[in-house]
Amino acid sequence: MLENVKVLVSGGTGYLGEAICRACSGYGAQVFFTWHTNQEKAEQLEKELTGSRAISLDIRDQAKVNETVSALHHDIESLDVLINNAAVSQIMPFSMLENEDLDLLLDVNVKGTLFLTKAVVRPMIRRKKGVVVNIGSLAGHRMLDVPVHYALSKAAVAGFSTALANELKRYNIRVNTVSPGLLEDGVARGVPEALVQDYLKHCASGRSGTAAEVAEIVCFLASERSSYMNGQNVFVDGGI
Q: In CATH, what is the architecture of 6-236?
A: 3-Layer(aba) Sandwich (3.40)
Q: Do residues 120 and 69 lie in contact, with contact meaning Cβ atoms separated by under 8 Å?
A: yes
Tell me the Ramachandran region of residue 239: left when phi exceeds 0, alpha when psi lies from -120 to 50, beta otherwise: left
Q: Do residues 19 and 211 lie in contact, with contact meaning Cβ atoms separated by under 8 Å?
A: yes
What residues of the chain score a pLDDT lower than 50?
none
Question: Strand 173-180 relative to strand 53-56: parallel, antiparallel, unpaired?
Answer: unpaired
**Confidence (pLDDT) at 46:** 98
**Confidence (pLDDT) at 195:** 86
Q: Return the bridge partners of 148, or none.
A: none
**Confidence (pLDDT) at 187:** 66
**Confidence (pLDDT) at 191:** 81
**Confidence (pLDDT) at 237:** 96
**Confidence (pLDDT) at 190:** 72
**Confidence (pLDDT) at 185:** 83
CA 35 – CA 59 distance, rounded (Å):
9
Q: Pick the catalytic residue: 150, 171, 199, 228? A: 150
pTM as predicted: 0.97
**Confidence (pLDDT) at 80:** 98
Cα–Cα distances (Å) from 147 to 27, 33, 187, 191, in that order, read 35, 27, 12, 11
Side-chain-side CA neighbours of 151 within 13 Å: the count stands at: 14
CA 29 – CA 168 distance, rounded (Å):
23
Q: Which of 27, 32, 33, 31 is CA-nearest to residue 3?
A: 27
Known active-site residue 150 = yes
**Confidence (pLDDT) at 189:** 74
CA 9 – CA 185 distance, rounded (Å):
19
- pLDDT, tens digit, 9 for 90 and up, residues 74-95: 999 899 999 999 999 998 999 9
Q: Where are the domains of the chain?
A: 6-236
